[in-house]
Amino acid sequence: MATRKIVQVGDELLRKKSKPVKDFDEDLWQLLDDMRESMYKNDGMGLAAPQVGVLRRAIVIDVNGMFAELINPVIVAQEGEDIEEEGCLSVGSFHGRVKRPYKITVKACDRYGYPFTLTGEKYLARCICHEVDHLDGVLFIDKTLDKDKYFGKK
Ligand code: NI
């Protein structure tokens, strides 16, 4: 395992749409292992492959001590609303409030290509939504209710 450099806001790579993972092979496992290590090293709750420069639909999360890898995740159901502050390892120290669904259901594959379904509430739902956004080139600063605070700081 090795830590990888986290791509920072301003880099166009973060704005690109990631492609589905097709090969559940050693390259993917290495990527996932490195993403996990990079997330923990930076005290993150989640990390998406484009944040380490790889435009593939893979994310890792760790919410409330539950680690998970989600490959080709698709949010298939959502309900409710929840507003909390978020940050991002690609966005420096800024934290801002974002409205997210309170509860989501996501379909994804594990590192071997086996499909599974996960339902999460509150921070788990928030974290998955945030990371799935990264796969579509969307950052939380696009959605934050505190945009003026972010752009005012610059
Ligand atoms: Ni992020």
Residue 3: inside a domain: no
> Does residue 136 lie in a domain region?
yes
Ligand 1 mean position, distance from CA 30 (Å)? 20
Share of the chain above pLDDT 70, in %: 99
Q: Determine the distance separating the centroid of ligand 1 and the alpha carbon of 114, expressed in angstroms.
A: 25
**What is the rounded distance in angstroms from the CA atom of residue 126 to the CA atom of residue 70?**
14
Catalytic residue among 37, 81, 121, 131: 131
2 inside domain: no
CATH, residue 62: 3.90.45.10
Catalytic (active site) residue 131: yes
Q: Residue 1 — very low, low, confident or very high, per pLDDT cuts 50/70/90?
A: confident
Mean pLDDT computed over 62-72:
96
- pLDDT per residue over 77-99, tens digit each? 999 999 999 999 999 999 999 99
* pLDDT at 153 exceeding the cut of 80: no
| Domain around 17 | 12-151
Between the CA of 102 and the centroid of ligand 1 the distance, in Å, is 18
Query: Cβ(49)–Cβ(59) under 8 Å?
Result: yes
Instruction: Give how many domains the chain has, as a whole number.
Output: 1
Distant-in-sequence, close-in-space partners of 30: CB < 8 Å, separation ≥ 6:
none
> Is 7 within a domain?
no
